[in-house]
Chain A
Amino acid sequence: MSSPAAPVLAASDLVKIYPPASRAGRPSTALAGVSLDLAEGTCLGVVGESGCGKSTLARLLVGLERPTAGTVLLQGQTVTSFRRPELARRLQLVSQDPFSSLNPRLTVSSALTEVLLVHHRVDGKKQAAARVADLLEMVSLGPQFASRLPHEMSGGQAQRVAIARALAAEPQILVLDEPTSALDVSVRAGIVNLLAGLRTDLALSYLFISHDMAVIRQLSDQIGVMYAGRFVERGPWQSVMSEPLHPYTRALLQAVPEPHPDGSLLGGPEGSAEESTEGTLEPGESPAAASAQTGCKYAPRCPIRIDRCLTEEPPLEIVTGAHEAACYRAGVPVEPGDVPAEAGGVGERA
Chain B
Amino acid sequence: MTDRDVTSAEPVLAIRDLSVGLRARSGVTELIRGVSLDIRPGERVGLVGESGSGKSLTMLAVMGLLASPVAVTGGSVTLGGTQLVGASDRTLRALRGSEIAMVYQDPMTSLDPLQRVGEQIAEGLRAHGVSRHEASERTVAALAEVQLPDPARLARSYPHELSGGMRQRVMIAAALAGNPRLLLADEPTTALDVTIQRQILSLVARIQRARNLAVLWVTHDLGVAAQFVQRLAVMYAGRVVEVGPTTAIFSDPQHPYTAALLDAVPSTTGERAALGQIPGSPPEPGSFPAGCSFASRCRQALPRCTRAEPILEQRPSGVEAACFVPPAEWRA
Contacts and interface: CB of A to CB of B under 8 A. Distances in A.
Contacts of B260: 186
Interface residues of A, number: 53
Contacts of B209: 267, 270
B226 A348 contact: no
A185 B193 contact: no
B194 A265 contact: no
A137 interface: no
B278 interface: yes
Contact of B50 (A186, A213, A278, A343): A186
B267 A282 contact: no
Interface in A151-196: 154, 156, 184-190, 192-193, 196
Interface residues of B, number: 57
A265 B228 CA distance: 5
A267 B195 contact: no
Interface stretch (B121-129, B146-154, B177-185, B301-309): B146-154
Contacts of A118: none
A187 B52 CA distance: 13
A277 B263 CA distance: 27
Interface of B: 1, 42, 44, 50-51, 147-150, 163-166, 169, 193-199, 201-202, 205-206, 209, 220-224, 226-230, 246-247, 250-251, 260-269, 272, 274-278, 281
Nearest to B195: A255
B108 to A, nearest CB: 15
A283 B220 contact: no
A241 interface: yes
Interface in A222-248: 241
Contacts of B281: 154, 156, 187
Nearest to A52: B193
Interface in A254-299: 254-262, 264-267, 270, 274-275, 277-278, 281-283, 285-286
Contact of B277 (A190, A218, A258, A348): A190
A299 to B, nearest CB: 16
B230 A259 contact: no
B204 to A, nearest CB: 9
A218 B266 contact: yes
A257 B276 CA distance: 19
Nearest to B202: A278
B222 A185 contact: yes
A192 B261 CA distance: 15
Interface of A: 49-50, 154, 156, 184-190, 192-193, 196, 211-215, 217-218, 241, 251-262, 264-267, 270, 274-275, 277-278, 281-283, 285-286, 343, 347-350
B265 A259 contact: yes
Given A281-B195, A348-B196, 15 more contacts: A185-B264, A186-B260, A188-B264, A217-B266, A217-B268, A251-B195, A257-B201, A261-B251, A265-B205, A267-B1, A267-B205, A278-B199, A281-B202, A347-B149, A348-B169
Nearest to A350: B149
Contact of B261 (A186, A217, A283): A186
Nearest to A275: B206
14 contacts: A184-B220, A185-B265, A186-B278, A218-B272, A218-B275, A251-B195, A255-B194, A258-B223, A259-B223, A259-B267, A274-B206, A285-B165, A285-B195, A350-B148
A154 B282 CA distance: 11
A262 B274 contact: no
A86 to B, nearest CB: 35
Contact of A252 (B50, B164, B195, B269): B195
B275 A256 contact: no
A260 to B, nearest CB: 6
Contacts of B262: 259
Contacts of A190: 277
A270 B150 CA distance: 25
Q: Which 9 A-B pairs have the closest CB atoms?
A: A257-B223, A189-B264, A189-B275, A350-B149, A214-B266, A49-B193, A255-B198, A184-B50, A255-B194
A349 B147 contact: yes
Contacts of A257: 194, 197-198, 201, 221, 223-224, 226-228
